[in-house]
Amino acid sequence: MHPVVKHVEDLFLPHLERLASEMRERFQSLNFNVWRWPSETETEYIDYDIGVECVFPLLKGDTDNVALMVELCFLNSKPRLMAGVGWGAPSAYSEATFRDDWLTNAEWPEANPQTIEELRQFFPTLVHAFESAVERGAPPT
């Protein structure tokens, strides 16, 4: 396992699992899933994501999920990091992001100790955005 992946998992995965457990108790009719998955399909873009999602009962044409994700990319060169809370298709609405001054993942901040610490400090903001989105039950209109 890449050392940055291990560090990010050690810091955030326990929080995501605890959040999912607490949300299951509060919203028993909704499904909450914690995931972690690597993607090694393209050699220059090896990435890794962890997160928690809430899946709502699907109403025709509506967005049925919202997720809090921590994403790593370029793990085989200069690892980069992003995190946020966003809705699935067709909305794709972003509730909150760790940084908003980027257009592509090549512009994400480097996944160095300072940036990971900044994310650790910002993480409660993302948790609050996720909780608010679940309580609302749909993307803003």
Q: Specify the pLDDT at position 102.
A: 80
> What pTM, to 2 d.p., does this model score?
0.91
SS3 70: strand
The distance from CA 86 to its chain's CA centroid, rounded to whole angstroms, is 8
- Nearest alpha carbon to residue 75 among 44, 119, 121: 44
Question: For residue 61, what pLDDT is reported?
Answer: 66
Q: What are phi and psi of 7, to 5 degrees?
A: -60, -45
Per-residue pLDDT of the chain (141 residues; tens, 9 = 90+): 788 999 999 999 999 999 999 999 999 999 999 999 875 555 555 889 999 999 998 766 678 899 999 999 999 889 999 999 999 988 899 999 999 878 788 899 999 999 999 999 999 999 999 999 999 998 987
Distance CA 24, CA 93 (A): 23
Rounded Cα distance between 79 and 100, Å, is 18
Residue 71 to residues 47, 82, 105, 140, 141, Cα–Cα distance (Å):
7, 5, 10, 24, 27
Q: Alpha helices, DSSP H only, in 45-137?
A: 113-136
